[in-house]
Chains A and B, each alone.
Chain A
Amino acid sequence: MAKAVSPGVQALRKVVDDVYADARKAKAEGKLVGWSSSKFPCELAEAFDLNVMYPENQAAGIAANRDGEIMCQAAEDLGYDNDICGYARISLAYAAGKRASRKFDPETLEYIIDPKSGKPLKDADGKVVIDPETGKPKKDPKTMQPYTVLDDIYEIEALPETTEKERAYKNFRREAIKPYRQMRMPQPDFVLCCNNICNCMTKWYENIARMRNIPLIMIDIPYNNTVEVHDTNVAYVRAQFDAAIKQLEEITGKKFDEKKFEQACANANRTAQAWLRVCDYLQYKPAPYSGFDLFNHMADVVTARGKVAAAEAFELLEKDLAEQVKTGATTTPFPEQYRVMFEGIPCWPKLPNLFKPLKANGVNVTAVVYAPAFGFVYDDLDGMCRAYYKAPNSVCIEQGVDWREGICRANKVDGVLVHYNRSCKPWSGYMAEMQRRFTADLGVPCAGFDGDQADPRNFNEAQYETRVQGLVEAMEANKAAKEAAAK
């Protein structure tokens, strides 16, 4: 949300761009490209120099680009129920070859512009230009876009190309697929699945494997009921690492490279630690940036935590932040009056709508659960098993509460905003009890709202605004009571 882009943020953006670009290049060169769940131990794939892409990150990007609905609908048309996780639906539609594309005239090969798209035209003084004929604001033609339509890459590839015209049409249809990187991700040659986040992941990746007839490498992390990870659980995961390595050796025809693996582990630890330190900067009052930015930086921990570039980019951002706190500067585009924890994944298609009432009320997000959730720090292989055993949805309620209350305390929040995310059953499934605990243990008010990480149809803006308002009022009352008590 910040306008000024620091060198660290720039570096972080480049890291993710490169991951996508490298994968496209690898695919073009005929190398293997895999798809992986976000909390699969990427260290294993790094040891084989594999190009790996991350459907969760992709789905978030597609949703943020406003194509969540058309892709979700495409999955529903394939038979996937609309109750299924929005990321899974987007990813399954994509795996099946479905793409959000731009409408064009097959005769003229020209895009058909949607008159509803585009931003208002502004004059030199920045004032909106009114169309004298309609009395309505004029549109800036540069910002207008073609209609969005659904296409299918396998249908396109099956088109004939005997005549010049057919070739031109086929090429144009290929090119019409929306050009942003998440809509141009290469199809997978293998999939890497770790179900520490949810069991839906298991079925999701099995479906992809079946659809594309490709190998699936699975790391199974059964749910854990205790804060500690027992040795028996560690042994189970350790054995799976060995099995996964064997499978990867078969797929790649290469031997497992211990050196590369160790390097990837070192990188992953370095990234995780830098990530945690960046997150910790939100402890400053006022925070040097808006916690919403962390949602964007998550892309780096997801797609590149095993790469040295990611570690370096986070370290760079850390430097920027150190400078900022020296001067008390912040990139949060409003004065911080309240500090909250945002619980859950944001509603990507509705990010501006989420931000609006927060900004209006001076509410800064200074804590997100992803901070500890991606801080995979470990010393050895057993430690690595333990680290991957602790994903947001694989831990018991006590651990979940402890993580959150830890960051709420450290990052000094005044309230908690809980996203009841229709897509994510395991996450939302014990939030009601957690909310009660936050209030009891921290004395902070909580407010919940209904939404979805990817499907815009499940978000109700009016409800959200009312809930934020209610939370602000409760925080205000809390503040007043505290001030009165202090006197």
Chain B
Amino acid sequence: MSIDVLLKEFQEVSEHPYKVLSQYKAEGKKVIGVLPYYAPEELVIAAGMVPMGIWGSNKKTIALAKEYCATFYCTIAQLALEMLLDGTMDQLDGIITPTICDTLRPMSQNIRVAMGDKLPCIFLAHPQYRRPAFGMQFTVDQYTNVKKELEKIAGAEITDEALRGAIKTMNASRAARREFVKLAGQHPEAVSAVLRSAVLRSAWFMEKAEHTAKLQQLNAELAALPASNWKGKKVLTSGIICDNPKLLQIFDDNGIAIAADDVAQESRLIRVDAAETGDPMMALAQMYADQDYDVLLFDEKSSENRRADYVVKQVKESGAQGLILFMQQFCDPEEMEYPYLKKALDAAGIPHVKLGVDQQMRDFGQASTAIQAFADVL
């Protein structure tokens, strides 16, 4: 299949997750909703079910969720609740609610209360001490709870063997996505910013094995392309999420390529893999322990500025000329880390622009002006 045809297929999925969900259900599969961040999708796959990421919505408006939360919460969380309340998610068989930020903590309660007997809600609290033995043990304990709850929904036990298989599936998916990010950065003429996002976003909705197979095809096509002679600009994107096609269209209209990203929905969560041998639960805990350089995670060397230094390194290695930060409104972890990110970027002489975004944005005039002005100085 040609690059364009493959990209269009990913886009179709990315634009219509509801159709995908309905299709899996029609095939008799059980589907588990997975809220951000760091939920072990491996466990869902090992239970023979389909994990489906929930990252808010670029099309919906908050209405029913107002019964539960005040206005000063990120739209990602509010719109997730909205879709649980308005019937969009009625076909789900369960949902995993991680609680790593101050919005997701109370949201886990609102979701559980609102869903009542309608939908099993699987609670997940990650430790901030990821690496010491006691932290690893806590992760295993929490994942064990998640595993038990998933087994109830699946009606079958999750064997170690199935879990090792699921780890392989997820490792392959992550590897293919990492490879794609690299190739898309090298061939912006073949993969627009809009379609790059569609490929990465669809990974949250499609069955992983299916997505990986298609993505490997795409990667092979991209790798076979002659070296690009991109005349436009290259940037690194940063933030929780930047998957609004209208926003990304501004990149494409102005010849700005995404060289790489520090975006939670794209690369942040797929940087590391789990061991395919040994105790699989421990392997999952180790994978979480290996995560790093994320605004959501505690840094034991907090007096250093490791996360920002890492982003600076990413900018340099990817050949980006600057960084565009999509600041999700009301997201304190991102907001709290901004001053030190800025400091490191300034020190390294890397220009950046911070754009406030939320998922109910419909008018991108201001963003467009800001992005264009930024591109001009690169």
Q: Give me the interface of A with B, judged by CB distance under 8 Å.
A: 78-81, 83-85, 88, 195, 198-200, 202-207, 209-210, 212-216, 218, 220, 222-225, 232-233, 235-236, 239-240, 243, 393, 396-397, 420, 422, 425-426, 428-433, 450
Q: 10 new A-B pairs (CB below 8 Å) besides A218-B128, A222-B126, A393-B105?
A: A84-B335, A202-B128, A218-B298, A222-B99, A225-B109, A225-B125, A232-B137, A233-B138, A239-B134, A425-B330
Cβ distance A33 to chain B, nearest Cβ, rounded Å: 17
A195 to chain B: closest residue by CB: B128
B240 to chain A, nearest CB (A): 14
- Chain B interface size, as a band, is 35 or more
Which residues of B162-179 have CB atoms within 8 Å of chain A's CB atoms? none
Q: Is the CB of B302 within 8 A of A210?
A: yes
Asked if A430 and B109 sit within 8 Å, CB to CB, the answer is yes
Interchain CB contact under 8 A, B335 and A199: no
Interface pair B128/A79, CB less than 8 Å apart:
no
Query: Inside 8 A of A199's CB, which chain B residues have their CB?
Result: 100-102, 105, 332-333
A232 to B103, CA, bound (A): 24
**Is B69's CB within 8 Å of the partner chain A?**
yes
Q: Are B137 and A236 in contact (CB under 8 A)?
A: yes
A232 touches B336 (CB 8 A): no
Contact with A along B99-117 (1 / 0, CB 8 A): 1111101111110110000
B342 partner residues in chain A, CB cutoff 8 A: 79
A224 and B112 CA atoms in complex are apart in Å by 13
User: Which of chain B's residues have a CB closer than 8 A to the CB of A225?
Assistant: 108-109, 112, 123, 125
Q: How far is the CA of A412 from the CA of B197 in the complex (A)?
A: 56
Q: Report A-chain residues with C-beta under 8 Å of the C-beta of B73.
A: 425, 429
Q: A79-B339, A84-B336, A199-B100 are in contact. Are A213 and B303 (CB under 8 A)?
A: yes
Assess whether B363 is interfacial by the CB under 8 Å rule. no
* Chain B residues in 8 Å Cβ range of A80: 335-336, 338-339
Q: 1/0 contact trace for B287-325 toward A, CB 8 Å?
A: 000000001001110111100000000000000000000
Q: Which residues of B contact A209 (CB under 8 A)?
A: 302-303
Instruction: Find out whether the CB atom of B335 lies under 8 angstroms from the CB atom of A81.
Output: yes
Chain A CB within 10 A, most for which of B101, B113, B302: B302
List A contacts of B330 (CB < 8 A).
83, 425
Render B316-352 as a binary contact track against A, CB cut-off 8 A, 1 for contact.
Answer: 0000000000010110110111111010000000000
* Assembled-state Cα–Cα distance A393/B107 (Å): 12
Instruction: Please give me the residue from chain A that is nearest to B343 by CB atom.
Output: A79
How many angstroms between the C-alpha atoms of A79 and B329 in the bound complex? 14
A232 touches B141 (CB 8 A): yes
- Give the interface of B toward A (CB within 8 A): 67-70, 72-73, 99-103, 105-110, 112-113, 123, 125-129, 132-135, 137-138, 141-142, 295, 298-300, 302-305, 327, 329-330, 332-333, 335-340, 342
Asked if residues B123 and A433 are in contact (CB atoms below 8 Å), the reply is: no
Please, could you name 24 A-B residue pairs with CB atoms under 8 Å apart, sorted by A?
A80-B336, A83-B332, A195-B128, A200-B102, A200-B336, A205-B302, A207-B340, A210-B303, A210-B305, A218-B128, A222-B125, A223-B99, A236-B127, A236-B129, A236-B135, A236-B137, A393-B106, A397-B112, A420-B70, A425-B73, A425-B330, A425-B332, A429-B102, A429-B103
Question: Which residues from A are CB-within-8-Å of B125?
Answer: 222-225
Question: Is B129 touching A220 in the complex (CB atoms < 8 A)?
Answer: yes
Q: Which residues of chain B are within 8 angstroms of A420 by Cβ–Cβ distance? A: 70
Contact at A429–B107, with CB atoms within 8 Å? Answer: yes
Instruction: Tell whether, in the assembled complex, residue A428 and residue B70 are in contact, meaning their CB atoms are under 8 Å apart.
Output: yes
Contact A204 B336 (CB under 8 A): yes
A85 CB to closest chain B CB (Å) equals 7
B106 engages A430 (CB within 8 Å): yes
**Are A83 and B70 in touch, CB under 8 angstroms?**
no
How far is A224 from B157 in the complex, measured between Cα atoms in Å? 26
Tell me whether A83 and B298 are in contact in the complex, defined as CB-CB below 8 angstroms, given that A209-B303, A239-B132, A429-B105 are known contacts. no
Rounded to whole angstroms, the CA-CA distance of A243 and B127 in the bound complex is: 15
- Report B334 CB to chain A, min CB distance, Å: 9
Taking CB atoms, residues of chain B closer than 8 Å to A195 are 128
A429 touches B339 (CB 8 A): no
Contacts of A428 in B (CB 8 A): 70, 72, 106
Closest to B99 in A: A223
With a CB–CB cut-off of 8 A, which chain B residues contact A214? Answer: 303
Residue from A224, A235, A429 in contact with B106 in the complex, judged by beta carbons closer than 8 Å: A429
Chain B residues within 8 Å of A203, by CB: 295, 332-333, 336-337
Q: How far is the CA of A88 from the CA of B268 in the complex (A)?
A: 26
Q: How far, in angstroms, from A215 to B299 measured CA to CA in the complex?
A: 12
Q: Are B113 and A397 neighbours in the complex by a CB distance under 8 Å?
A: yes
Asked if residues A430 and B110 are in contact (CB atoms below 8 Å), the reply is: yes
* Residues A216 and B105 in contact, CB atoms below 8 Å apart: no
Please, which residues of chain B bring their CB within 8 A of the CB of A240? 129, 134
Name the CB-closest residue of A to B130: A220
Minimum CB–CB distance from A402 to chain B (whole Å) comes to 13
Q: Across the interface, do B302 and A220 meet the contact criterion of CB distance under 8 Å?
A: no
Tell me which residues across on chain A come within 8 A of B142, comparing CB atoms: 222
Measured CA separation A33–B99 after assembly (Å): 33
Please measure, in the bound complex, the distance between the C-alpha atom of A420 and the C-alpha atom of B133, giving whole angstroms.
39
A235 contacts B134, CB within 8 Å? yes
Task: Give Cα A240–Cα B113 distance, bound, in whole angstroms.
Answer: 32
What residues on B are CB-neighbors of A426 within 8 Å? 102, 105-106
Min CB gap B234→A, angstroms: 25
Establish whether residues A222 and B336, one from each chain, have CB atoms under 8 Å apart when the complex forms: no
User: Quick one: which of A199, A235, A243, A428 has the most chain B CB within 10 A?
Assistant: A199
Question: What is the CB-to-nearest-CB distance from B212 to chain A, in angstroms, rounded to a whole number?
Answer: 32
- Nearest-CB distance from A360 to chain B (Å)? 27
Kindly state the separation between the CA atoms of A88 and B335 in the bound complex, as whole angstroms.
12
